[in-house]
Amino acid sequence: MALLFSSFVSAQTLTGTVKNATTGKPAAGDEIVLLKLGEGMEEAGRTKADSKGNFSFKVEDDQSPHLVRAIHQDVTYHRMAPPGTTSVEVDVYDVAKKIEGLEVVADVNESSIGQLHEGQAAEVSVDAFPNQKWKGVLRQIIPTADRAKATVQVKVTIVDPSDRLLPEMSSSVSFLQSERTDAEMHEPARIWIPASAISGGNVAIVGADKHVTLRHVTTGAVREKRIEITGGLNAGDRVVTSAVDTLENGQLIRFE
């Protein structure tokens, strides 16, 4: 006699609530996207929050982590849903009509602080909107240093913040020798470094362990003693900006 066993796989239900933290009310009608995380991100579902801000998805693969994305007033908010998660809450915020006096606090390497001055033109990029830039002005150099990181903090005022910017958004700042034109502000994002940071076609990159790696780079335009890097360098890499020709691969850098 043969015994036959049947197995049943049932999809797990993931429920959630979206709350407008600006008003304290449900974010009714916001679009919600479920993303499955693996080698990349794969959309696993899409819906809208109901009148109480509630939503739900059937999760076919409950062994994989997922990411819940809420879209509110064209700004995206995310909440991780590890395997086994059955409920999530997402807070969203109303976009301000206009934010006056919005500032960015940035860390500047001590070795570069002598090149900056209050009133200097700057360019601000925000992680949430990688293809857009804002004009800024260096308002203050804070007269204290972080000895552990060898940095000095500065405050940059955004000249004309749009209604898409919110406090506490992650951002980065580039300092300029002269103010950019409107056409230049709309150029695609590029990597620029001081001309003194290149020697023999190489740059010296300082890793987390404070050791140097010499890397060959390709260059593009030259502007205000800065050189555009078109290949070989990634945004966020920390480079040595002077005396590069005296460094060797693997050399330890000491910050003083």
- Which domains does the chain show, CATH number per domain? 12-92 (2.60.40.1120), 96-189 (2.40.30.170), 191-256 (2.40.420.20)
**Residue type for 200, please?**
G
Residue 163 has pLDDT above 80, yes or no: no
pTM metric for this prediction:
0.39
C-beta of residue 139 within 8 angstroms of C-beta of residue 155: yes
Tokens of 66: 């997922």
Least confident range from 7-21, 121-135, 145-159, 223-237: namely 7-21
CA distances from residue 180 to 40, 54, 102, 176 in whole angstroms, order as listed:
36, 45, 19, 8
pLDDT in tens, 184-207: 656 666 787 888 889 999 999 988
**Residue type for 104, please?**
V
Backbone torsion region of residue 186, taken as left when φ is above 0, otherwise alpha when ψ lies between -120 and 50, otherwise beta: alpha
Q: What is the mean pLDDT of the chain?
A: 82
CA–CA separation, 190 and 184 (whole Å): 11
The most distant pair of C-alpha atoms in the chain lies apart, rounded to whole Å, by 89
CA distances from residue 32 to 35, 84, 130 in whole angstroms, order as listed:
10, 19, 22
DSSP code for 97: S
pLDDT in tens, 222-241: 876 788 888 998 877 888 88
